[in-house]
Structure 1
Amino acid sequence: MKNILVPVDFSAFSFNAARKAVFIAEKTNAEVHLLHVVNAPSDWNSISLQAQQEFPEVEARVVEAEMKMEKLLNDAIFERSKVKTYVQGGTIYEVITEFARHRKMDLITIGAHGADETKELFVGSTTQRVIRMATCPVLSVKKNSELKSVDRILFLSDFEEDISNAIETIIQLAEIMAASVELLYINTPANFTDTETAEARMSKYIPKASKVKFQSFIYNDFDKDKGMLAFMKRNKPDLITMITHARKGKPAYLLSMTDTIVFHADIPVLSMVLRKP
């Protein structure tokens, strides 16, 4: 992990996301990239300066954001980190995901609202869209969530498809954090799997020779989302990791399991797009 992107809107949510990015960067010697996006025409970054001058209100917000960024950069949390700042214009979630893709970011750390932190629906939020569109892992963190240490990483999957790349990422993260990994399979009546089959699926992804300690769990519930939240509340992991499938083009009102967990979980959630090995 060499480059971590933090979208910044100068709220407590994005500031906490920056703190988490710094925590990870200090352990991986990564560079932190702070990006503020001013809501502007989608082609803002490619049009001429003369064309930009036709939008004086956008130009004013850009200048204001650059001043705020300079002030933020002087905060004590960045004293020991390598940090770069950027201010760009355009459609916010599109600029974030394109910036991450074009500059080959290894991780996006982004602030997320929780069920008790906003009256607005989570559906259609910037965080949700970034999770759906990003080509690199996305770490979603709440305003008050802590990440001072990571001792236990929980990974949720049905273990039916080839998740080798995701497991490899989790192992690398666990080695960096000196954490153990817990594999979780949620069993529901609608998609019931016998214990022996579920255990065999999980054991397939536990490396025979690894410094990382693995445990596997099967949790029964009528609903997969509720089962995940109930298990999380009972076992209290430090970090949740899960795969999010590409949902670009699908209606925003169709909530994925990742959306639900990010919205309700009190701890950081790392979502990864499934890549073919």
Structure 2
Amino acid sequence: MKTILIPTDFSKNAFVAAEYGCALAAASGQRVLLLHVYIALYSGYKEEGSSVKQIKWAESESAKEMENIVKTLKKQFPDVTIEGEYVKGFMIDVVTQKLKDGPFSLVVMGTKGVSNVAESILGSTTYEVIKKSPIPVLVVPTDTPDFAFKNAGFFTDYNDSELDALLTFSRSIPLNPKLSVLHFYTDGEHRDATEKSLSKWERKVRAAFPDGNFTFKAVQVDKVDINAVSAAATDEQLDLLIFTRPHRTFFHTIFAPSLTKAVAGYSTAIPSLFIRA
């Protein structure tokens, strides 16, 4: 059975993500591992005196919080196998090592979802996990509505690597939602050429995934940015956004530092899935 990894700091953001991750696990027949990483600060070369007390206190509090959250989630999702783990260290290091050692299908993390830079939109730790994770990372905003997985939006630049991303998506979350494949283009691009490229891309995707539930659309926008994504999500009534993350792609365009001012104030309650392609 596949396992969804859900890092948590026991905050409200993290709990919303944990609920979403457990609902997803219930729908897709997967297990859940909640992971908390605590930091105990100390001075000197040895963990002595007050340093030992701090570490023991952090460990004890982590154990209590983990027991409570696992108990709460098991009541909400009695059919899902939910386990909890807490270790001392740094979150990004522990998560990275976990992903190397364990057969996980997906990472689910929380975020506030409002800011003017990628690191703050996603949260610095979440952003680092997205950059380093070899498996898909699902980011769940605090104000996400009840779990829904019917209409997903896949944002494309017509790169062949995105076919691998679609395959990874289907394997990680075997729920087969309606998938709106969306390409953005601006006034500077010729509409006929864009439509021709879209038609070619549609044939390629349908050949690779003959059983997929796809629609394809080229969307003209003033600028390819977060605001365009938000507008498309509203128009298409999406409950999931999917981005691929190769070396240079739509992901970098949307979250590039040079465009951070343009996305100031962006807010969405739609979970976003980031897939390395």
TM-score, length of structure 1 as denominator length: 0.80
- Distance in 1 (CA, whole Å) between partners of 2:178 and 2:84 is 34
Match in the other structure for 1:35: 35
Q: Do the aligned partners of residues 185 and 146 (structure 1) sit closer, same or farther apart at CA in structure 2, a change above 3 Å counting?
A: same
In structure 2, how many angstroms separate the alpha carbons of the residues matched to 1:7 and 1:256? 30
Equivalent-residue separation in structure 2 for 1:9 and 1:34 (angstroms): 10
- Taking structure 1 as reference, are residues 254 and 173 closer, same or farther at Cα in structure 2, changes over 3 Å only? closer
Relative to its length, the structure with more helix (as a share) is 2
1:202 aligns with 2:199: no
Cα displacement (A) at 1:72 = 1.4
Query: Matched residue of 1:228: which SS?
Result: helix
- Matched residue SS, 2:6: strand
Task: Name the structure 2 match of 1:46.
Answer: none
Task: Indicate conservation of the 8 Å contact 1:38/1:58, yes or no.
Answer: no
- Asked whether the equivalents of residues 23 and 77 of structure 2 are also in contact (C-alpha less than 8 Å), the reply is no
How many aligned residue pairs are there? 256
1:269 is matched by which residue type in structure 2?
Answer: S
- Aligned partner of 2:270 in structure 1 is 267
Letter of the structure 1 residue corresponding to residue 66 of structure 2: M
Matches within 5 A, 1:82-161: 82-115=81-114, 121-122=120-121, 125-161=124-160
Contact 2:142 2:269 in 1 (8 A): no
Q: Deviations over 1:6-36 (max 9, x none)?
A: 1111111111111111112112321100000
Q: Tell me: CA distance 1:245–1:52, structure 2 relative to 1, closer, same or farther (3 Å).
A: farther
> Over the residues paired in the alignment, what is the CA RMSD in angstroms?
3.1
Distance in structure 1 (CA, Å) of the matches to 2:201 and 2:212:
19
Judge which range, 50-59 or 99-108, deviates more. Answer: 50-59
Alpha-carbon shift at residue 187 of structure 1 (Å): 0.8
TM-score (norm 2): 0.80
Task: Give % identity.
Answer: 22
Q: For the structure 1 residues 203 and 58, does the alpha-carbon distance in structure 2 shift closer, same or farther, using more than 3 Å as the test?
A: farther
Q: Does 1:186 align with 2:184?
A: yes
- Among 52, 55, 58, the residue aligned to 1:58: 55
Letter in 2 for 1:14: A
For structure 1, the residue ranges without an aligned partner over 5 or more in a row are 42-49
